[in-house]
Amino acid sequence: MTAHDIHALSGAYAVDALDDIERARFEEHLAVCADCRDEVASLRDSAWTLGSLTDTAPPPELRDRLLAGIKEIRPLPPETPAIHEDAAVPAEASSGGRRFGWRTFAAAAAVLAVVGTGTVAAVELTRDDSSQTMTTAERVLSAKDATTVAVDLPGKARARVVRSVSENRAVLVTSGMPAAPTGKVYELWLQHDEVMVPAGLMPAGSDQTFVLEGDAADASAAGITVEPEGGSDEPTSAPIALFDFSQAT
């Protein structure tokens, strides 16, 4: 999947139309792309606002039709200005500014449909039909105040912690994470006043999106250690990764 393609998944992600592989890749990208976080938040806000205008239930076939349409009409990636060979461009300009023109409108149009006599129906935003709330990970990753700390690990593995003070939670996103040694697990921690507090055990798998347990808003850092199976109440080894929130971007 190219960089162009990953940006184009924001509309489908906003209405939960990605498969598990696409979702994992996009959430890893979302952790470092402020443009896509803003886009996802904007699309979801629009869907919820318009969806609240009526209690009319959409026909059963509407959701499948809209999700199929979303696969065909995806937003373009963030636009970047043309670069002339004789122009010096600062490094921070390479990400480009946000563009909320046609690409945002097209994605929003795919989320919504006019049904019957003009009532508006919104696609459910979650995989679970029994709930219309975003998952905690989705809320954190798309929060406007989300900040990221990234750490490179041995073997080309990479881990990022995304924290949202407004959501009071943090999310770990891993890529290429090797399995823990036999009889061991990876344990997550949040640091409060120089004390490491358990924040959950990482599930098995190299590519994970995991919500840390506990109050992240007041934490100064997060960490990963290797612990005996079942976890520990306090770290028994040095962290293999430490995420200093004061260095977050």
Residues 87-135 have pLDDT tens digits of 443 433 333 444 434 444 444 444 444 334 343 333 343 344 433 457 8
Residue 27 shares a structural domain with residue 122 = yes
Q: What is the pLDDT of residue 117?
A: 38
Average pLDDT over residues 40-48: 66
Which of residues 129, 162, 193 is at a domain's end?
129
Output 75 or 95, whichever has higher pLDDT.
Answer: 75
Q: Provide the CA 26 distance to its chain's centre, in angstroms.
A: 7
The answer to the question of residue 136 being in a domain is no
Regarding whether 120 and 155 lie in a shared domain, the answer is no
Burial environment of residue 117 by CB neighbours within 10 A (0 to 12, 13 to 18, 19 or more): exposed
Tell me whether residue 137 is in a domain: no
Rounded-to-integer distance, Cα 199 and Cα 216, Å: 10
What is the number of other CB atoms lying within 10 angstroms of the CB of residue 126? Answer: 14
**Residue 165 placed within a domain:** yes
Question: Are residues 168 and 162 in contact, defined by beta-carbon separation less than 8 angstroms?
Answer: no
Nearest Cα neighbor of 248 from 147, 125, 135 is: 147
Does residue 167 surpass a pLDDT of 70?
Answer: yes
Domain-embedded: residue 154 = yes
Q: How far apart are CA 21 and CA 186, in angstroms?
A: 22
Q: Cα(26)–Cα(18) distance, rounded to whole angstroms? A: 9
Q: Are residues 13 and 125 in the same domain?
A: yes
Q: Give the integer Cα–Cα distance in Å for 55 and 135.
A: 23
Assess if residue 138 is contained within a domain. Answer: no
Q: Which domain holds residue 18?
A: 3-129
**CB neighbour list of residue 100: distance below 8 Å, 6 or more residues apart:** 42
3-class SS at 78? coil
Rounded-to-integer distance, Cα 80 and Cα 5, Å: 15
Distance of alpha carbon 85 from alpha carbon 76, whole angstroms: 25
57's tokens: 């239930």
- 210 and 181 fall within a common domain: yes
Q: From CA 197, how far away is CA 231, in angstroms rounded?
A: 12
Whether 123 and 58 share a structural domain = yes
Domain boundary among 129, 158, 185: 129
> Do 120 and 158 sit in the same domain of this protein?
no
Q: Does this model's pTM top 0.95?
A: no
The total number of structural domains that make up the chain: 2
Q: Are residues 118 and 151 in the same domain?
A: no
Q: Which residue has the higher pLDDT, 229 or 133?
A: 229
- Assess if residue 139 is contained within a domain: no
My answer on whether 8 and 102 are in the same domain is yes
Range from 76-80, 112-116, 175-179 carrying the lowest mean pLDDT: 112-116
Considering the domain boundaries, does residue 142 fall inside one? no
Residue 140 forms part of a structural domain: no
Other C-beta atoms within 10 Å of 91: how many? 6
Residues 73, 153, single domain; the answer is no
The answer to whether residues 10 and 109 belong to one domain is yes
Q: Which of 98, 129, 160 is the last residue of a domain?
A: 129
- Regarding whether 116 and 11 lie in a shared domain, the answer is yes
Residues contacting 136, CB < 8 A, separation 6+: 167, 169, 171, 211
Q: Are residues 172 and 88 in the same domain?
A: no
Rounded-to-integer distance, Cα 230 and Cα 207, Å = 21
